[in-house]
Chain A
Amino acid sequence: MTSPLLSAPQPGLGPAEDPRLPNRLARGRSFRRRMLPFLFLLPWFVGVLTFQAYPILDSFYHSFTIYDVFQPAKWIGVRNYVNLAEHDYTRKALMNTLLYVVVSVPGGLVVGLLQALLLNVKIRGLQLFRTLAIVPGTVPVAGAAAVFLFIWSPSLGLINSFLKALGLPWQQAWLTSPVMVKWVFIVMAIQGGIGMLIFLAGLQNVPQELYDAAKIDGAKSIQTLFKVTLPMLTPYTLFNLLTSLIGAFQMFSGPMLMTGGGPAGGSMFYPQLIYENAFRNFRMGHAAALSWILFVICVVIVVLLFRTSASWVYYEGGN
Chain B
Amino acid sequence: MPKQGFSRREFLSLIGAAGGAALLAACQPVATSTDGDEMEAAMEPVTVSVQSGWQTSGDGDVWTPCIELFDEKGTHISIEMIRLHVSPEDTMTAVAGGTAPDVYHRYIGGFAELMARGVMLPLDDLIANAPDFDPDIYLGSQWDNGKWDGVTYGIPALEGGSMPAICWHKHLIEEVGGDPEVGPRSWPEMLEWSRMLLQYDDDGNLTQAGFDPKDAYGFTVIAWPVVFDENYISEDKRTFTFDTEAWAEGLDLIAQFWTDPGVDKMQAFVDQWNYWSGYPSSGFNNAKRAMVMDGNWLPGMLRNMVEVTGVELESIGYNFHPNLNEGNKAIDFGTGHTLFMPRTTQVAEDALTFIIHMTSVEVNLLEFEIRAACMWSKPILDAIDLSSVPGLQWFFDAPLEADRLWSPNEFLTPVQSQCENLWNRAFEEVTVGVKSAEDALFDINKELQQSLDEYWETQS
Contacts and interface: CB of A to CB of B under 8 A. Distances in A.
A87 B450 CA distance: 11
| Most chain A beta-carbon contacts within 10 A, residue among B264, B415, B421, B429 | B264
A300 B92 CA distance: 34
Contact of A70 (B96, B263, B271, B443): B96
Interface in B81-139: 88-89, 92-93, 95-96, 113, 117-119
Contact of A155 (B92, B268, B425): B268
Contact of B264 (A74, A88, A154, A282): A154
Nearest to B454: A66
Contacts of B417: 280-282
A266 B272 CA distance: 23
Given A264-B429, A280-B89, A178 B434 contact: yes
A264 B267 contact: no
B264 A70 contact: no
Nearest to B426: A264
Main secondary structure of the interface of A (DSSP, over half): loop
Nearest to A175: B267
Contacts of B458: 66, 68, 71-72, 74
Given A69-B96, A264-B425, A281 B267 contact: no
A67 to B, nearest CB: 8
Interface string B257-293: 0000011110110011000000000000000000000
Interface residues of A, number: 32
Contact of B428 (A87, A154, A155, A264): A264
Interface string B432-460: 10110000000100010011001101100
Contacts of B92: 69-70, 279, 282
B263 A83 contact: no
Contacts of A72: 458
| Most chain B beta-carbon contacts within 10 A, residue among A154, A177, A178, A282 | A282
B268 A264 contact: no
Main secondary structure of the interface of B (DSSP, over half): helix
Interface in A245-292: 262-266, 276, 279-283
A173 interface: yes
B265 A83 contact: no
A156 interface: yes
B418 interface: yes
Contact of B88 (A155, A156, A280): A280
A70 B117 contact: yes
B268 A279 contact: no
Given A176-B264, A178-B434, A282-B117, A74 B428 contact: no
18 contacts: A66-B454, A70-B119, A72-B458, A74-B458, A153-B268, A155-B203, A155-B265, A156-B271, A176-B263, A178-B434, A262-B424, A265-B429, A279-B89, A280-B88, A282-B92, A282-B117, A282-B417, A283-B451
Interface of A: 66, 68-72, 74, 76, 83, 87-89, 153-156, 173, 175-178, 262-266, 276, 279-283
Given A173-B267, A264-B429, 18 more contacts: A66-B454, A70-B96, A70-B117, A70-B118, A72-B458, A74-B457, A154-B267, A155-B268, A156-B272, A176-B264, A176-B267, A178-B432, A264-B428, A279-B93, A280-B417, A281-B418, A283-B451, A283-B454
